[in-house]
Amino acid sequence: MKALILAILIALSAPALAQERIAIELLIDDSGVLLDPQEAQTYKLMLLAHLKALATKRAGANARIEVISTSLGRTVWSGTPLMVRRDPERAQALVNAVTADPNRCNNLPGAFLELKSNLAQLERDSVTSVHVVIFSSLVDTPVPCEGIKTIALPQMPPAAGDLNGTLEGAQRIRSVSFFWVSPHQKRVWEEFLAPSFAALWQRGDPDVLIALEVSIEVVRERRGESWPEWLHDLQLRRLTTANSAADLVIDSGAVSASQMVSEAIDFLEQSAGTSPSGAAPAS
């Protein structure tokens, strides 16, 4: 999971996308309820490094990047991979923008409304392909939150913000990726966003579809022996249509994260008619 998002961003540089106007909407959790904030920061910086690397690709150099703070509920940075690569001050400002502040509340509805506003502007600007990345534990807090001592999980997704309506209504969205989700929140958010995922799948016409599979045994090794088999079976049923249409299926339990990303990127490069670079991505 931690490597998959990097593969998605690297895939944006494929030659097949060279004629598209691309935008990447990053909703970054910079609040005090982000799980494991120090480890999360490491992966945030890896994500930014891959965004910077897009500057070396024709399709990705001028991709429009907008960073939305989940704590502030507004866009805190915008630019391009080329800007990140060439301007150290703007690059540092981007790092500062994604760094969590332990004193901040988490305003998920505000962030979702800002995403809706940004998507509407991108459509007006004739951007043809939008990729949404949500890096968050998906734990919401009311504002002000100074008096909160404990948060009970799982917590139901906030009714405000209309994330389902935003994702279903934005015709330019090509992918939606979630990263760093609290395991306690995963199930309730999967159920909450099921209409959006169905709409995105029915709307999309992917050039290449890569599916990841994992056995219940491997899931339990990663998440604990108590992980319910019924939930694993439910997830498999939801993915039946996608898996049957996949161009490549990778057993994520049989390879390391870096090998999985490398295999996916090699396949994408071959599908695009280019030669694999041979360089393994960071993971």
Residue, of 198 and 135, whose pLDDT is higher: 135
User: Rounded to whole angstroms, how far apart are CA atoms 59 and 272?
Assistant: 13
Residue owning tokens 């306690």 = 184
Maximal CA-CA distance, the chain? 57
Side chain identity, residue 252: S
| Domains (range + CATH), the chain | 4-205 (3.40.50), 208-283 (no CATH)
pTM listed for this prediction: 0.73
pLDDT tens digits, 68-114: 999 999 999 999 999 999 999 999 999 999 999 999 999 999 999 99
pLDDT computed for residue 202 by the predictor: 64
- Give the bridge partners for 24, in sequence order: 65, 131
User: Rounded to whole angstroms, how far apart are CA atoms 177 and 110?
Assistant: 19
Q: What is the mean pLDDT of residues 122-133?
A: 92
* Closest alpha carbon to 14 in 265, 215, 282: 265
Q: Are 11 and 26 in contact (CB under 8 A)?
A: no
Can you tell me whether residue 31 is helix, strand or coil?
A: coil
Q: What is the mean pLDDT of residues 40-69?
A: 89
Show the beta-strand stretches assigned E in the chain: 22-28, 64-69, 74-79, 129-135, 173-179, 210-213, 248-251
- 12's tokens: 């944006």
User: Rounded to whole angstroms, how far apart are CA atoms 12 and 63?
Assistant: 9
Side chain identity, residue 233: D
pLDDT tens digits, 205-229: 666 778 888 888 988 888 788 878 8
Cα–Cα–Cα angle for 200, 202, 208, nearest 5°?
Answer: 80
